[in-house]
A = this chain, B = another copy of it.
Amino acid sequence: MAVTDIATRTYNHNFRLDPIVRSLLDTDFYKLLMLQMIRHLHPEVEATFSLINRTKTVRLADIIDEAELRAQLDHARTVRFTRKELIWLAGNSFYGKTQMFSPDFIAWLADFRLPDYDLRKVDGQYELRFAGPWTHTTMWEIPALAIVNELKSRAAMRDKGRFALDVLYARAKARLWEKVERLRDLPDLMLSDFGTRRRHGFLWQRWCVEALKEGLGSRFIGTSNVLLAMDADLEAIGTNAHELPMVAAALAEGDEALARAPYRVLEEWREHYSGNLLIALPDTFGTTAFLRNAPDWLAGWTGFRPDSAPPIEGGEQIIRWWQAHHVDPRTKLLIFSDGMDIDSIERTYRHFHGRVRMSFGWGTNLTNDFRGCDPDGASGLEPISLVCKVTSANGRPAVKLSDNPAKATGDPAEIARYLRVFGGEGRTAAAVMV
């Protein structure tokens, strides 16, 4: 007969809250790299981030209790960087470099807390906005997404029996391990976890990361999750995101400055970072337009992260650009991170193997693949396409065109203007699954 630890059980009964975000390091590494640069160059910019559920059929406000959501957001606002975490940030080497973060930045982080939020229900969805200094609102992206996704998971599991839960996780584990076995057949694979924002839950992400560490060995190169990187002695992985060109574009005065904005951002980046952090994200306003006007010096960077074009077409387009700049693609790196899963990883790996260096950032389909795992046949655990995007900077609307029009965000009139400035060639509509 099993014995229960009564004190633990009683303590658990009286839980006010099982916090989802327990550490400010439970975020993506690129947020910290970007934050250091934003604080250095743009401390005065105000930026608003907004939660956007692209899967409109899932009515989040009907699923997630508002009081619970507020309690989790409020709890996240109480969390500070601990002494141990700041020491690790200051002392660890990232991408082979020591002192990636300046002592001044680390000291500033010691006082950091997440700023206030604005939450309301509109038409079955949550409108969740973070307005304030860019140096603070940017840090809400990952915890806000992790909180909403985990609350959605919890809601879907609330009425399940223990055996149903046991079978649910058994199936999800078996599924992940099948993928691991297939990935082992790709000898030069470099793969990292990019699944924090879309995860089923923190503990599940941790299980997935530990499973990849045991299952893939050195082919698993690290995780974007800074807390898991610290705790599991893994490399923290990540570079930069769409918010940098989006804010630069929003603040540009006139169409000419707008056209130059995506490259100005890269100049700012290379002032701060070097080596394998010199990765360009080409798709914010369309990859074709980006490459057509890209400066020659960009061919000296380590690589690109195509994030919304279909991986093979997007990769070929970039390879052609390198070749036109007389650069051997085998010395360059492509990082694929847009909704990848086992099939597209295998296909992309086999297509490009030997022609270019590749790395895969595996997100939603790593840390939130419970499709078909529910013994009750319910679909409440299927992942949704939830993002938290910058929607305005200093009061001016922010826009993302993307290579996939279904992923565009922003005011329609502004989108039309951006399409006029950048051109719309090469964009292909595709269903956004995750």
Binding site for B on A (CB under 8 A): 2-4, 82-84, 87-88, 90-92, 162-163, 166, 230-231, 233
Which of B2, B4, B83, B163 is close to A92, meaning CB atoms less than 8 Å apart?
Answer: B83
A and B contact pairs by CB, cutoff 8 A, 21 listed: A2-B2, A2-B4, A3-B162, A3-B163, A3-B166, A82-B233, A83-B92, A83-B233, A84-B88, A84-B92, A84-B230, A84-B231, A84-B233, A87-B87, A87-B88, A87-B91, A87-B92, A88-B88, A88-B91, A90-B91, A91-B91
CA distance A408 to B87 in the complex (A): 42
CA distance A4 to B91 in the complex (A): 41
- Nearest 6 Cβ contacts at the A-B interface: A87-B91, A2-B2, A91-B91, A3-B162, A87-B92, A90-B91
Inter-chain pairs besides A2-B2, A87-B87, A88-B91, 4 sampled, C-beta below 8 Å: A83-B92, A83-B233, A87-B91, A88-B88
Q: Which residue of B lies closest to A83 (CB)?
A: B233
Chain B residues with Cβ under 8 A from A91's Cβ? 87-88, 90-91
A78 to chain B, nearest CB (A): 16
A208 to chain B, nearest CB (A): 15
A170 to chain B, nearest CB (A): 9
Chain B residues with Cβ under 8 A from A3's Cβ? 162-163, 166
Of the candidates A4, A83, A162, A230, the one having the most CB atoms from chain B within 10 angstroms of its own CB is A83
CA distance A43 to B162 in the complex (A): 59
Q: Which residue of B lies closest to A90 (CB)?
A: B91
A357 to chain B, nearest CB (A): 25
CA distance A90 to B89 in the complex (A): 12
CA distance A163 to B3 in the complex (A): 8
A87 to chain B, nearest CB (A): 4
Q: Which residue of B lies closest to A106 (CB)?
A: B91
Q: Which residue of B lies closest to A88 (CB)?
A: B87
CA distance A231 to B4 in the complex (A): 26
Chain B residues with Cβ under 8 A from A2's Cβ? 2, 4
Q: Which residue of B lies closest to A4 (CB)?
A: B2
Q: Which residue of B lies closest to A85 (CB)?
A: B233
Chain B residues with Cβ under 8 A from A82's Cβ? 233
Q: Which residue of B lies closest to A82 (CB)?
A: B233
Chain B residues with Cβ under 8 A from A166's Cβ? 3
CA distance A92 to B91 in the complex (A): 10
CA distance A82 to B2 in the complex (A): 36
CA distance A282 to B90 in the complex (A): 39
Chain B residues with Cβ under 8 A from A88's Cβ? 84, 87-88, 91
Of the candidates A4, A84, A90, A166, the one having the most CB atoms from chain B within 10 angstroms of its own CB is A84
CA distance A230 to B84 in the complex (A): 7
Chain B residues with Cβ under 8 A from A162's Cβ? 3
A85 to chain B, nearest CB (A): 10
CA distance A230 to B90 in the complex (A): 15
Chain B residues with Cβ under 8 A from A90's Cβ? 91
CA distance A14 to B92 in the complex (A): 35
Chain B residues with Cβ under 8 A from A231's Cβ? 84
A429 to chain B, nearest CB (A): 44
Of the candidates A3, A83, A87, A166, the one having the most CB atoms from chain B within 10 angstroms of its own CB is A87
A375 to chain B, nearest CB (A): 14
